[in-house]
Structure 1
């Protein structure tokens, strides 16, 4: 009876039938065929009016998606039916019906029944539907499905298909300009950005799809794309949440003085594994996605097109400011030349301009060594005239000087000596921010070009370098690191020669014995000749002797012109050689003196050329290890210490972006007014009780001794005098205390 009732109940109770079919598909094939025919008839009726709600169809679709793998031959057309129905009527379907169809397809995809190349383009088109919950469901599935498809190896076929489809959706949003196409294009850009951050789609095609979205007429799409490029150098959030790091040492100490159990051992092992994972994540190099801006196919065309958008002034100020920031960053990274961008910045370089610090950041980022100084000089003068005046506040002056410094860091030729010396006079200003900004500008030009500074501002190190001519002034179009060899490499070679001390070494004559014992073995080459390992040393020795002979010859041919026209033999420096050439123009020398002077000048030139060739040869024939670079840095620092005591601060490292904090500089905390002080006081009192007496409050720290005695065991208080007195009371005393207790209770009721 029970079995017959259950069999009669199955056609109307799909979850129970679903459970039974998954356990034994063959036994319940007849019941499934009955439900399959019912589904086909319900679906055909639904297609007549697809905009109506159908709970029965939703239940049947869910049931079929759960048991499809049990009857693959019967249900082979089921996924295609759902796909066709969504393609034709996705915009008119009821919300619940459409959601059930999508969930069924996602379930079939997770089971591997449906291919993602068929499903994902459909899901992208479903972004057009005005259903926020459905969009979130589709978005999470698309991102996870593409990520899983590229987990083991890159699925290039799927990636190319979807990227091309996204590009067509962006174009449809531009041409059609409908609200549905705009939403679908926006979600496609979000998917590209999310996959790029997850290092799934980090190729040039993805970046250029997002770059094309920057020019979309739809504001949401363009702002999303511009924000991606502006924030691409920030470290992305980790997928795993930060776990609390356990105190391993504390756990080990606790286990030493307690009972050993398996649970404690498991906790200790888990803590060790967690610490190991944390240490591995810390050892990994920080991954900054600088490559996004480098992967743009045509940076010059992209920057010019974005700059043309700025000149139209169609967008709001915030959007134009972001695009201005992106154009300046691309100009700085790729060292582009867009001369019309700098006059555009000058219009906004006013202290009253909103977000003027971002405009100064844009001016600094758009500066590089290949920008003509004539284009940047008006920008620097505009900053100096508008910001560094006595009519503005001290913070504005500091911001102006810091902006000039950041521009001059990238293009030192953008400022002239007169303006630089005027700005340097603020080094004694009463405001600390202005003072530090002016001193940082002086420190920059002490390293780049100290000749532009006043003599009193050059410093000891720069003055000594100017005298011996070791400072090289960089001209326009020439980078500061454009050297023929590696600077300071001769210092490393000289230090290695000094370190080599072969006096304490002894020659080992037992070469035959070492060969027999398995030591060094002479390996012959093809023609049975042995390799001569001392050839390099002999060549180095010959080169050293030759260099010493050349040095002696040079010293013999160096002269100085005396007051009476005679030439004296001495070592000639760069500045002295210049004086000799001036003396040649002013004094009349004999032919013999002129010949000797010409020989001295020629020898000086040959000496410089020989040094340059030696440095170039050394740099091109030797492979330096990281230890050699570290030693080279130490030698450079020690050489700086010969000029002045203390470590010399190096040049400012130029990064790809300028931080707004570097423009603002260190700022003094402003004095609080009465309202701010009271607000901070009230904030400190949050979560704390008020001051005053606690009399009458029910919340107390503890109870009295009398209250504690009521809960004590009788044997603990049997010896008390109060207990003994109660047992010895007379009948009259007992009646008296009882009446007093009754009267007290009556008074409490009133």
Structure 2
């Protein structure tokens, strides 16, 4: 009787039928076909009125998507029917029915019944629907599906198809004015950015699709794309939940003296694991990816197009500041020439201008060695005239000096001697920010071009280097060997004297030697003669590293007497007192010629090594070690020359503002800091009446004692011998006390 009742309920109870079909598909094939025919009839009826809600159809779709993998031949057309239904009626369907259809398609995709090349373009189209929950569901599935498809290997077919489809959606957003197209294009850009941050779509095509979104007429899309280019390096991975690292030494010291228990041992073991996991995550090698700005196909065209949008003044000021920042970053990274951008910046270089520090940041980022000094001179003069005067506050003067310094770091030829000497006079200003800004400007030109400074501002080391000719004067458009990363790497190897070690066989272990090589070396790479290494060179602008290296082939170096520090100091002091003698002038001239010859020999040797030497794996390992040591020196505060400083093209706003004096807090700020300090602390006041205390009072303990323990106490005995008058008096007092407690 029970089986008959279950068979009677199967046509109407779909979850039970679904469970039975998954267990035994063959036994319940007839029931499934009955439900499948019912679905076909319901679908034909629903297509007549697609805007109505149909719970029965939604239940049938969910049931069919769950069991269709058990009957692949019978349900061959089922996925395509759902896709066609959504394509045709996606905007008019009831939200519940539409969500059921999407969930069914996601389930079919997870079971590999449906291909993602057919499904994902449909989901991008469904972004047009005005359903926030549906868009969130589609977004999560698209990102996860693309991530899983590219997990083992890059699925280039799928990636190119979807990227082309997203580009088409962005173009349709420009031509059409419908709100649905704008939402779909915005979600498409979000998907591209999310996949780029996950290192799934980190190719040039993705970056250029996002770059095209910067010119969208929809402000939300343009702002999202611009923020990606400005802030994508700041995107950090989610940190571990265990942010608080326990003090391991303190716990170990406590365990030495405290009682050993199992709970304390477990806590100690958990702390050890946490510290080990944290140290392991810190020890991982950081993956340095190319900046998205380097992957632009046409950076010059991108910058010019964005500059024309900026000059039209169609957007709000906040968006224009972001575009200004992006244009300057592109100019600085790719060293472009966009001469119309600098007069645009001069218009906004006013102390009263809102976000003027960001304008100064843009001016610094847009400066590089290939910008003509004549173009940057008006910018420097505008900053000096508007910011560095006695009519403005000290903070404004410090900002102006810092802005000029950041521009001169990238293009020192834009500064002339008259302006620099005027700015250097603020080195003794009463305000600390102004004084630091002026002195940093003086320190910069002491390294790169002390001739522009007044004689009293040059300093001893700069004056000595000027006399011995070790300061190299740069001309516009001149690019030294230190500007090339490959030559820098080889020079690092040469400075450490690693050429002999690099020729060992350990670096090429397991490699085959090309028999057709013209090299005389047996290891398959070229041995560079020691004459071309230039090991006895002195690095310019460094007073600490002066070591004389001997040649290894036995040849004698030319005997040229060097002028030491003490002798140069004596000559400088003699120069201040009187004119130099002819002998001293000849010595200085010979020293300058020797240094110039060594510099030329150094450049020639580096170029020859870069074009003729093949670096082994041992060289690369040693090079990584040298780079790490160089970075460690920079962190430790060891001074480096201006040529060695890394400039990634980005300027922090804090460097423009400089050190600022902490202003006095008002009453609201002081009270806010006081309340913040009280967080997590017990409230100050009396503990009377609080239940949280260490123990009970003696009076409370006496109430719980056995009567025989207190029967002979004086208070108990006297209480039993009270007179009637005393009893009435205490009773009235108790009643009065109770009445007062009620109020």
Give the TM-score normalised by the residue count of structure 1.
0.79
Deviations 1:693-733 (A, max 9, x none): 66677776653211023335x4xx8555755985x789866
1:571 Cα deviation from its structure 2 partner? 9.6
Q: Which residue number corresponds to residue 589 of structure 2?
A: 575
1:653 Cα deviation from its structure 2 partner? 3.3
Q: Distance in 2 between matches of 1:320 and 1:337?
A: 20
Q: Which residue number corresponds to residue 709 of structure 1?
A: 702
2:107 is paired with a residue whose SS is: helix
Structure 1 residues 440-519: aligned runs within 5 Å = 440-479=440-479, 481-482=481-482
Q: Which residue number corresponds to residue 79 of structure 1?
A: 79
Structure 1 residues 347-426: aligned runs within 5 Å = 347-426=347-426
Preserved CA contact (<8 Å) 1:233 1:289: no
| Match among 641, 646, 651 for residue 650 of structure 1 | 641
- How many pairs were matched up? 671
Structure 1 residues 655-674: aligned runs within 5 Å = 655-674=648-667
Q: Distance in 1 between matches of 2:427 and 2:45?
A: 86
Q: Distance in 1 between matches of 2:187 and 2:243?
A: 32
2:460 is paired with a residue whose SS is: helix
Q: Which residue number corresponds to residue 231 of structure 1?
A: 231
Structure 1 residues 610-625: aligned runs within 5 Å = none
1:231 is paired with a residue whose SS is: helix
2:234 is paired with a residue whose SS is: coil
Structure 1 residues 32-43: aligned runs within 5 Å = 32-43=32-43
Deviations 1:575-633 (A, max 9, x none): 3799xxxxxxxxxxxxxxxxxxxxxx9x9998987677567667877877776898999
Deviations 1:283-327 (A, max 9, x none): 234445542110000000110111111111111111111111000
Deviations 1:389-441 (A, max 9, x none): 00000000000000000000000011101101111111100000111111111
Q: Which residue number corresponds to residue 181 of structure 1?
A: 181
Residue 373 to residue 242, structure 1, CA distance change in 2 (3 Å): farther
1:154 is paired with a residue whose SS is: coil
- Higher mean Cα deviation, 60-69 or 625-634? 625-634
Preserved CA contact (<8 Å) 1:232 1:290: no
Residue 67 to residue 250, structure 1, CA distance change in 2 (3 Å): farther
Q: Distance in 1 between matches of 2:560 and 2:667?
A: 80
Preserved CA contact (<8 Å) 2:333 2:648: no
Preserved CA contact (<8 Å) 2:197 2:235: no
Preserved CA contact (<8 Å) 1:233 1:290: no
Preserved CA contact (<8 Å) 1:18 1:63: yes
Q: Which residue number corresponds to residue 201 of structure 2?
A: 201
Q: Which residue number corresponds to residue 512 of structure 2?
A: none
1:369 is paired with a residue whose SS is: coil
1:233 is paired with a residue whose SS is: helix
Give the TM-score normalised by the residue count of structure 2.
0.79
Q: Which residue number corresponds to residue 343 of structure 1?
A: 343
Preserved CA contact (<8 Å) 2:52 2:93: yes
1:304 aligns with 2:304: yes
Preserved CA contact (<8 Å) 2:470 2:595: no
Structure 1 residues 244-283: aligned runs within 5 Å = 245=245, 258=260, 274-283=274-283
Greater gyration radius: 1
1:737 Cα deviation from its structure 2 partner? 9.3
Q: Distance in 2 between matches of 1:64 and 1:157?
A: 30
Preserved CA contact (<8 Å) 2:335 2:368: yes
Q: Which runs of 5+ in 2 are unaligned?
A: 501-514, 532-549, 563-580
Residue 699 to residue 553, structure 1, CA distance change in 2 (3 Å): closer
Q: Distance in 1 between matches of 2:156 and 2:495?
A: 54
Q: Which residue number corresponds to residue 70 of structure 2?
A: 70
Q: Distance in 2 between matches of 1:611 and 1:312?
A: 50
2:47 is paired with a residue whose SS is: helix
Query: Please, what is the CA RMSD of the aligned residues?
Result: 4.4
Q: Distance in 1 between matches of 2:28 and 2:489?
A: 86
Deviations 1:114-159 (A, max 9, x none): 1111110000000000111100000001001100111111111111
Q: Which residue number corresponds to residue 131 of structure 1?
A: 131
Structure 1 residues 82-101: aligned runs within 5 Å = 82-101=82-101
1:71 Cα deviation from its structure 2 partner? 1.8
Residue 731 to residue 270, structure 1, CA distance change in 2 (3 Å): closer
Residue 732 to residue 705, structure 1, CA distance change in 2 (3 Å): closer
Residue 240 to residue 180, structure 1, CA distance change in 2 (3 Å): farther
1:650 is paired with a residue whose SS is: coil
Q: Distance in 1 between matches of 2:650 and 2:27?
A: 69
Residue 56 to residue 89, structure 1, CA distance change in 2 (3 Å): same
- Higher mean Cα deviation, 691-700 or 25-34? 691-700
Q: Which residue number corresponds to residue 520 of structure 1?
A: none
Residue 605 to residue 721, structure 1, CA distance change in 2 (3 Å): closer
Q: Which residue number corresponds to residue 172 of structure 1?
A: 172
Q: Which runs of 5+ in 1 are unaligned?
A: 500-524, 555-566, 579-600, 639-645
Q: Which residue number corresponds to residue 534 of structure 2?
A: none
Preserved CA contact (<8 Å) 1:718 1:724: no
1:318 is paired with a residue whose SS is: helix
1:456 Cα deviation from its structure 2 partner? 1.0
Structure 1 residues 579-658: aligned runs within 5 Å = 648=639, 650-651=641-642, 652-658=645-651
